[in-house]
Amino acid sequence: MTTPLFEAKNLQKYFPVKGGILNRTQAQVKAVDDVSFAINPGETLSIVGESGCGKSTTGRAILRLDDPTDGEILFEGQNLMELSKSDLRQKRKEMQIIFQDPYASLNPRQKVKQILDEAMAIQGVVPKAKRPERIRELMEVVGLRPEQAERYPFQFSGGQRQRIGIARALSVDPKLIVCDEAVSALDVSTQAQVLNLLKKLQKDLDLTYLFISHDLGVVRHISDRVIVMYLGKIVEIADKKDLFDSPRHPYTRALLSAIPIPDPSKTRERIVLQGDVPSPMNPPSGCRFHTRCPFATDICKTEEPELRSTTFMNETHKAACHHIEKIAETEKTSIV
């Protein structure tokens, strides 16, 4: 068993909802509610889910960009929650993040070389004299021409800007990179370029990724393991193959069946979920998915299901559902 590079234990992130004359906290949005997982060195762990499921909040919470409400976050065994601000800043060079919209996360008034230089200066990873050389190197690593470092962000296309975002993250030699919807704003042809780049960099530089995305196609392509979240909870976690070939949670199954396949000759049964995702301010009791679940029974309304595995599942494959066995039974009769 490898020691995980990173571990989150019972992570919680609640956002207070304030109101009234005294501006007191009237309710809590439980964006991330008791989430635990580990990331092994060199792997890509993905978190998928729809808007509001807490996937991005998880990504921000583990870097303490938003301080978690409760729980532990361990990086190489060290609890980040106990670090002071300055120690945390030191630690951040090990953990970087790439955002969805590279334009919003790059300073429009800085040239690319200044953007990269600043990142290295703050972390003090490369002595000033050597930085120009390192900038040239970084530009080449992400597939841009070194002389383009003299340009401003607006002079680049979307895909190129995302490459700059990646170069910035790489400039401090991180071990873990959180990619928060890093390719979602890109066209498919550019998306493929950036995905291939991320894969190559992982191999060359021994990087570990936490890849946050709503796009299951992208996730299948890049991940080793996948977490599916729904309303602040993990509903299923598995190796990529298990998750896509034999999803166990009814939500995962519905999610997979809802994605249009770019092949009109393939027909399959679609599970269309009724209704919308309930508000995370007032999540349903018991299993949070029970209001939309075609298999829900009384126990789902009252008892919260635990993440568990059963005899016919791999050890690493866990789903939070009371009816895994029953659903597997129905599947035997009608294979999707």
Partner 1 sequence: MASNEQTPVLEVKGLQTSFFTPDGEVKAVDGVDFSVNSNETLGIVGESGSGKSITSLSVMRLIQHPGKIVGGTIELSGEDLLKKSKQQFAKYRGNRLSMIFQEPMTSLNPVFTVGSQIAEAVRIHKKLDKKAAWQEAVNMLKLVGIPAPEDRAKRYPHELSGGMRQRVMIAIALSCDPELLIADEPTTALDVTIQAQILELIKELQEKSGMAVLMITHDLGVIAETADKVVVMYAGEVVEQADVKTLFKRPLHPYTQGLMNAIPRHDIDLDELEMIPGTVPTPQNMPSGCRFAERCPYARELCVEKHPELATPSNNVDEGITTGQTRCWIYTDEWDGPNPTKGVATNQ
CB of 245 to partner 1, least distance (A): 10
In whole angstroms, the minimum distance from the beta carbon of 8 to partner 1 comes to 24
Specify the residue, 86 or 265, whose C-beta has the smaller distance to partner 1.
Answer: 265
- Shortest CA distance to 250 belongs to which of 308, 326, 304? 326
- Select 124 or 217, whichever has its Cβ closest to partner 1: 217
CB of 216: closest distance to partner 1 in angstroms? Answer: 4
Binding site for partner 1 (CB under 8 A): 50-51, 157-160, 187-193, 195-196, 199, 214-222, 244, 254-256, 258-266, 270, 272-273, 276-277
Tokens linked to 120 = 């290295």
| Burial class (CB within 10 angstroms; exposed 0-12, middle 13-18, buried 19+) of 235 | buried
SS3 92: helix
Query: Would you state the structure tokens that stand for residue 147, as one six-digit string?
Result: 């002389």
Give, in order, the Cα–Cα distances in Å from 12 to each of 17, 122, 221. 16, 30, 29
CB of 259 to partner 1, least distance (A): 5
CA dihedral 109, 114, 115, 121 (to 10 degrees): -140
Q: How far is the CB of 272 from partner 1 (least distance, A)?
A: 5
Name which of 110 and 190 has its Cβ closer to partner 1.
Answer: 190
Using the minimum distance from each CB to partner 1, give the nearer residue, 147 or 263: 263
Angle between the 85-92 and 112-123 helix axes, to the nearest 10 degrees?
Answer: 130
Give the nearer residue to partner 1 in terms of CB position, either 124 or 294: 294
